[in-house]
Amino acid sequence: MAYRFDPHEAVDAAIRRIAREQIDKAIDDLSPIDGDRHEGIHEARKRLKKLRGLARLAVRATPEFAARENARFRDAGRTLSGVRDRTALIEALDGLAERFENEGAAASFAAARAALERKREEAIEAMGSEDAIAAAAIGHLKDARSRLDRFVLPGGSKRNQRFLVEAMGANYRRARRDLKLAIRSKRAEDFHDLRKRIKYLGMHLKLFEALWPSVLIPWREEADRAADALGRDHDYAVLRAEMAADPLSFGPKGDLGGVLALLVRHQGELREEARERCARLLAVRPKAFERWIGTLWRLAARPE
């Protein structure tokens, strides 16, 4: 079933299966015989985020395991983040240029893009070989995989299901708080915190999809769209900070000012889109959300 719980499967067996699949695929992504190393790193980072989402669901059933493995997957992701983060800024600038391609600003983007490409090359040189970076991440992943066979949850199936649902509800509850804070403060860091909660919500809905696919799949897709909007907003916030810190690298003052004006404009659009999507996603009270997911699990787990 890939990255999904089977309602008829023991919870600890499902966690072992899902984690093993994601770890093995991440190792494959980082060990290309042929292919794009940048793309392999990008795919591996996405799998590491999925593994962290899975570990966070286990936090109430087994706090020590969840904290340890979440930290392991976080550290593995950090070894891969430098080049990918730089590439994300270039992609963000390209997306901005595409959004406003009919406004005659193409020339203004050229110097900014060249600056970002230079900074990416500097990051690659500072980090060392991509082979070494990938090897370090693979080491973290193999350590995690070696512990999976010994992972067993205490208690019965109903208890462990309840703990997973409560952990999902805890993230949902925090997302509601973060949405209110981001709307009130308008600070980039608060929108970034909201993005992380929505990203985890999407992962959790993916894991629970089999409980009611026709409802949970569209909901998960909506969470993904909200997270994408918030992710691009974060990229723009980082880009603005870089431009403010080193404006001379990004071209003539007039061109940079034009790019920044468009960037701020698009950020406003993205935040409004994310606000509307998140308000719908998070409209249910957390306790009611938990009860609903728990009920879906019980219904789906009935003998066939």
pLDDT in tens, 255-297: 899 999 999 999 999 999 999 999 999 999 999 999 999 999 9
Q: Which residue do the tokens 């659009």 mark?
A: 269
pLDDT of the residue at 141: 92
Q: What is the pTM of this model?
A: 0.93
Q: 3-state secondary structure string, 122-145?
A: HHHHHHCCHHHHHHHHHHHHHHHH
Of the candidates 227, 222, 213, the residue with the CA atom closest to the CA atom of residue 281: 222
User: Which positions of the chain have pLDDT values less than 50?
Assistant: none
Residue 134's alpha-carbon distances to 30, 131, 195, in angstroms, are: 6, 5, 26
Q: Which domains does the chain have, with CATH numbers?
A: 11-300 (1.40.20.10)
Cβ-based burial of 142 (10 A; exposed 0-12, middle 13-18, buried ≥19): exposed
Average confidence score pLDDT of the chain: 91
pLDDT of the residue at 271: 97
pLDDT in tens, 201-232: 999 999 999 999 999 999 999 999 999 999 99
pLDDT in tens, 106-117: 778 988 999 999
3 φ, ψ to 5°? -85, 65
